[in-house]
Structure formats: structure tokens, C-alpha cells
Homo-oligomer: A and B are copies of this chain.
Amino acid sequence: MPSLDPSRDVVALTADLVDIASESFDEQAIADAVEAVLRAAPHLDVVRDGHTLVARTDLGRAERVVVAGHLDTVPVNGNFPSRLEDGVLWGLGSCDMKGGVAVALRLAAHLSEPSRDVTYVFYEAEEVAAVHNGLGRLARERPELLAGDFAILMEPSDGGIEAGCQGTMRFDVVTRGERSHSARSWMGSNAIHAAHQVLARLNAYEPRRVDIDGLEYREGLNAVLVNGGVAGNVIPDECRVTVNYRFAPDRDEAAALAHVREVFDGFELEVTDSSPGALPGLSRPAVQDFVAAVGGEVKPKFGWTDVSQFTRLGVPAVNYGPGDPLFAHKADEHVPVEQLRQVEERMNRWLGA
């Protein structure tokens, strides 16, 4: 069974976390290792729920901060295990988001007297359909565990603060036909051929760019999966194009759905997954305080993150973590060592007593 040692520096600890494979739905080993670290810290109350962990200080401070990160990764893509080279740590999850998890885990283990009470959340299944998301489950079933005045989601933000997040929706565009032997194709009707207009509309689509609070959000509408066919000699009777729509936070889920229904007018749509965005909330005092303490420019968050879970609970939240999010989910995913250290140092400065 793999174990973790929070006395190792943040770079080594990030590498150790990367080297525990944790593709979504396979988080048992990493959750066990993180739990052992948390349970060894006498200043933390620890709760486990599935492969999701919540660890809290209870020092009666005036303010409570939530620091959260997910433990899972997308599937491996020739980038496992980790590799440290010339000040850069490479590997699956190094950027998204085991660097942030390493920072949070070291804060949790060592910061016995933080300036604010802290709730650390390490959770499962962020990289798959929202219904599986460990933080979402807590928000629905045990929201008291997530209570706080401000939340920091340690998703990669290139070491700067990213505000808000875009919404995300997944749906299948389904075309149907009729099976027949492919030697007598005129007796059937080809569902894959019928999907040509679906792909053509996707290919021609021009995504929106929207300005909110001075931040520019960029949308995207993309086929992520396509599946159709029965056998090599049968005219297919069904084809499914799974589309992911990333929408700016000025659109709610209903408006996003209305938009994609318009784009795919005439086609059958089955929505499988939907999560709202979050407005940047730059005017809120808690956000302004954190921005002032940590410093740097505030940018828009393109990716959906669990910031929106906190928004729904009424807790202001931002993304702040090491790693350039442009490399998340890519074969050449990596995180600069310098950024790991900088984020840790600033979080320590802000939360240190």
C-alpha cells in the first residue's frame, strides 16, 4: 500500500502523489494514503465519505476558510510515472491537480495554529460526470462540512488567482436509422451517415467570447466522443455524438440548453451532465482580501471547477493553484517547481499565525 510523507518538500510530495495512479473511479489507494496523513495530525478532525476526506481545525477563529482539491486524474496518456527534470515536474496529474493537493496536504499536516480556521477537502471523481463528484455529494448531503467564509479551490491557475468558472454541459446528439445487411444497404438507413450534419455544424461553430467584470471568457462546443455501429457488415441504426458545451457564467444552465437545442435544431438531444458556471464575484470583500494578501493579476477561469459548488452554497470562492491549466489533460502535463514553492509560500504566509 503506498504511503505519503508530508515532511518531504512540496516537490517530492507532488511527485509521490503523481506516482499513486488515481484515474477517476480508482481513488481508493490515494485516498487511503491521504487519510493516513490527516489522521496523524492531532489538530485535525477527520471525516471520510467514500473516497472523499474532510479535515478541520477548530480553534474558534473569527473566520473559516475552505481549501479543496480533487484526488483523481483523467486516463493515462503515456505520462506516468512522474519525472523531475530541470526544475519542472512532469507527469499525469502534476498540473491537474496534485501540485495543489500537495500544498494543501502539507498545510493540513503542519499548520497546527492557522490564522483562520481551515477546512481541508480532498475529494474523488472530479474528472467525470458531475453526478459522481465527491464535493458535489458533500454539498448535497452534508453541506455543514463545507461551511465557511471563503473557499480556495487549488486547481491549476498558473500561480495566479482565477475568478469564476465556466459552466459545462454534456449531451448526446443521436441519429437513428434502420439496420440491414451492408451488402443490400438500400434496404436500411444509415445512422452514421445521418450524423454528417451534426459534425458539420460543430466544425462550423464559432464559439462566443464574453466580457464579465473586465474578464474575457471563451466558450467551446466540442464533440468529445462518437460511437455508432453494430458489426462490420450491418448498416448502423444508431449513432451518438457526445458533445461538451463550455459556457460563460453569464449563461445559466437553462440558457445553455436553449442555445445547444438551437444549434442542433432538428436532432434528438439527450443531456447527460450539466453544471452551472460561477460569476467572478470580484466585488465581494472576502475575495478582495485574499487578492490583496496573495497579490498578482486576477484572470478568468475557462475550465469548470468546483468553485460553482461553493457559489451554490453561498460561499465566495476562487481558483488558486500551481500549474498552467493549458497543460491539464495533455500528454505533456507538467508543473514548474518554482510555482509549487511560491504557491505554498504564499498560502503559508496568508494562513500562518
Chain B hits for A236, CB < 8 A: 223-226
Q: Contacts A182-B246, A183-B302, A196-B199 given: A226-B229 contact, CB under 8 Å?
A: yes
**Distance in Å from the Cβ of A189 to the closest Cβ of chain B?**
11
- Give the most central of A168, A183, A193, A199: most B CB within 10 Å: A183
Q: Tell whether, in the assembled complex, residue B233 and residue A229 are in contact, meaning their CB atoms are under 8 Å apart.
A: no
**Distance in Å from the Cβ of A249 to the closest Cβ of chain B?**
13
Number of copies: 2
Q: 8 Å CB contacts to B: which residues of A298-314?
A: 302-304
Q: Tell whether, in the assembled complex, residue B226 and residue A239 are in contact, meaning their CB atoms are under 8 Å apart.
A: yes
Chain B hits for A188, CB < 8 A: 330
A48-77 vs B, Cβ < 8 Å mask (1 yes, 0 no) = 000000000000000000000000001101
Q: How far is the CA of A235 from the CA of B77 in the complex (A)?
A: 13
Residue A234 at the chain B interface, CB threshold 8 Å: yes
Residue A21 at the chain B interface, CB threshold 8 Å: no
Q: How far is the CA of A233 from the CA of B235 in the complex (A)?
A: 30
Q: Contacts A185-B246, A203-B196, A328-B181 given: A225-B233 contact, CB under 8 Å?
A: no
Q: How far is the CA of A182 from the CA of B247 in the complex (A)?
A: 11
Residue A340 at the chain B interface, CB threshold 8 Å: no
Q: Tell whether, in the assembled complex, residue A182 and residue B222 are in contact, meaning their CB atoms are under 8 Å apart.
A: yes
Residue A227 at the chain B interface, CB threshold 8 Å: yes
A119-146 vs B, Cβ < 8 Å mask (1 yes, 0 no) = 0000000011100000000000000000
Residue A116 at the chain B interface, CB threshold 8 Å: no
The contact of A196 among B196, B220, B233, B239, by CB within 8 Å, is B196
Residue A218 at the chain B interface, CB threshold 8 Å: yes
Residue A242 at the chain B interface, CB threshold 8 Å: yes
**Distance in Å from the Cβ of A209 to the closest Cβ of chain B?**
11
Residue A40 at the chain B interface, CB threshold 8 Å: no
The contact of A273 among B199, B207, B232, B242, by CB within 8 Å, is B232
Residue A325 at the chain B interface, CB threshold 8 Å: yes
Q: Tell whether, in the assembled complex, residue B182 and residue A244 are in contact, meaning their CB atoms are under 8 Å apart.
A: yes
Chain B hits for A75, CB < 8 A: 230-231
Q: Tell whether, in the assembled complex, residue A329 and residue B224 are in contact, meaning their CB atoms are under 8 Å apart.
A: no
Chain B hits for A329, CB < 8 A: 179-181, 231, 233-234
Q: How far is the CA of A21 from the CA of B319 in the complex (A)?
A: 56
Residue A228 at the chain B interface, CB threshold 8 Å: yes
Q: 8 Å CB contacts to B: which residues of A84-137?
A: 96, 127-129
Q: 8 Å CB contacts to B: which residues of A147-200?
A: 166, 168, 170, 179-188, 190, 192-196, 199-200
Residue A202 at the chain B interface, CB threshold 8 Å: yes
Residues of A whose CB lies within 8 Å of any CB of B are 74-75, 77, 96, 127-129, 166, 168, 170, 179-188, 190, 192-196, 199-200, 202-203, 207, 218, 220, 222-236, 239, 241-242, 244, 246, 273, 302-304, 325-326, 328-331
Would you give 21 A-B contacts (Cβ < 8 Å), ordered by A? A74-B231, A74-B234, A77-B179, A127-B231, A127-B233, A128-B231, A129-B232, A180-B326, A183-B246, A183-B303, A184-B302, A184-B326, A193-B199, A195-B226, A196-B196, A196-B202, A200-B200, A223-B229, A229-B242, A231-B329, A234-B329
